[in-house]
């Protein structure tokens, strides 16, 4: 099981995007990363819905009362993530990013998986993708250079909040999978499948999104942005190593202890005088 006693609060929170509050390339004026983040944001609402369906399916099969409580927190947090990213996606759509098209595609693919794939396989996919989101979230929360990319816009606020809660509940889907008899072989295979699936989706959708952006056709700017990927904190060796650790026999998400990280960011975002306290309702 995950860390005993870990609380998963469902925060009533709202973000706003006044007209003109985001510049076109809102991730540090970087062409490629702005499109990558838009694509990832577009995947979140249908992805969170899939995660909730996959975990909720096994709700009655869980006997551990603490894990049951964490599942309730997980579902509440994921539903809120989906709602808030829909709002961000609407703003990005208005700015020219094809977030609605990406969301519709991902929703159709995941709905088909829910209909056709065994429920345990869907749960193993969820656990694998949760490892991706938690690893990227930890990168954002630990690396100042990753935080600097987001400037001081509302996008920074929503991604820091999302990262905190992904870190809080990173082990829940994994624990449900293990508690309901999921095998190591299927767990590892699912991670490989989702690595190719998620990676292919992000690359292809980002390329198609960029083709709609006039800035893409400025060779110097495009080359400069592509070269920046080599030093991106999200593609660093330690991030890749932590992702690969999922394939280790006996792996558990809490092998990477983030208790101190959670305490720091919970206080910074939602403690007395926290930067996002005014976003709570």
Cα separations in angstroms, 55 against 28, 118, 233, 250: 36, 13, 31, 21
Has residue 261 been placed in a domain? no
pLDDT attached to residue 19: 77
Has residue 206 been placed in a domain? yes
Has residue 147 been placed in a domain? yes
Has residue 158 been placed in a domain? yes
C-alpha closest to that of 166 among 277, 84, 101, 223: 84
Has residue 88 been placed in a domain? yes
Domain range for 102? 31-249
Long-range contacts of 224-228 (CB under 8 A, 24+ apart): 225/30, 225/31, 225/32, 225/33, 226/32, 228/30, 228/32, 228/33
Q: How many domains does the chain have?
A: 1
Has residue 109 been placed in a domain? yes
Confidence of residue 281 (pLDDT cuts 50, 70, 90): confident
Confidence of residue 20 (pLDDT cuts 50, 70, 90): confident
Q: Please tell me whether residue 15 adopts helix, strand or coil conformation.
A: coil
Has residue 50 been placed in a domain? yes
Confidence of residue 4 (pLDDT cuts 50, 70, 90): low
Q: Are 99 and 93 in contact (CB under 8 A)?
A: yes
pLDDT at 3 over 70: no
Cα separations in angstroms, 230 against 12, 37, 172: 38, 17, 33
pLDDT attached to residue 5: 58
Output phi, psi for 26, to 5 deg: -80, -10
Output the pTM of the full model. Answer: 0.94
Has residue 221 been placed in a domain? yes
Confidence of residue 269 (pLDDT cuts 50, 70, 90): very high
């Amino acid at each position: 099981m995950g860390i005993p006693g870990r609380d998963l609060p469902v925060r009533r929170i709202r973000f706003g995007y006044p007209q003109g509050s985001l510049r076109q390339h809102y991730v540090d004026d970087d062409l490629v990363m702005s499109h990558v983040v838009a694509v990832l944001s577009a995947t979140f609402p249908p992805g969170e819905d899939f995660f909730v369906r996959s975990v909720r399916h096994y709700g009655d099969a869980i006997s551990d009362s603490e894990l049951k409580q964490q599942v309730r927190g997980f579902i509440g947090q994921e539903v809120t993530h989906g709602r808030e990213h829909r709002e961000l996606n609407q703003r990005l759509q208005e700015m020219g990013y094809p977030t609605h098209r990406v969301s519709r595609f991902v929703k159709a693919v995941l709905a088909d998986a829910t209909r056709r794939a065994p429920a345990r396989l869907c749960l193993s996919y969820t656990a694998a993708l949760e490892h991706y989101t938690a690893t990227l979230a930890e990168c954002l929360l630990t690396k100042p250079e990753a935080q600097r990319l987001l400037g001081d816009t509302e996008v920074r606020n929503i991604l820091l909040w999302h990262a905190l809660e992904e870190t809080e509940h990173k082990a829940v889907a994994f624990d449900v999978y293990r508690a309901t008899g999921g095998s190591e072989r299927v767990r590892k295979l699912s991670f490989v499948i989702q690595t190719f699936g998620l990676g292919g989706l992000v690359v292809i959708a980002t390329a198609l999104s960029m083709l709609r952006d006039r800035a893409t056709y400025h060779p110097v700017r495009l080359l400069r942005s592509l070269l920046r990927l080599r030093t991106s904190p999200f593609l660093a060796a330690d991030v890749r190593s932590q992702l690969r650790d999922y394939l280790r026999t006996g792996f558990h998400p809490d092998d990477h202890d983030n208790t101190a990280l959670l305490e720091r960011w919970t206080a910074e975002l939602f403690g007395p005088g926290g930067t996002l306290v005014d976003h709570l309702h």
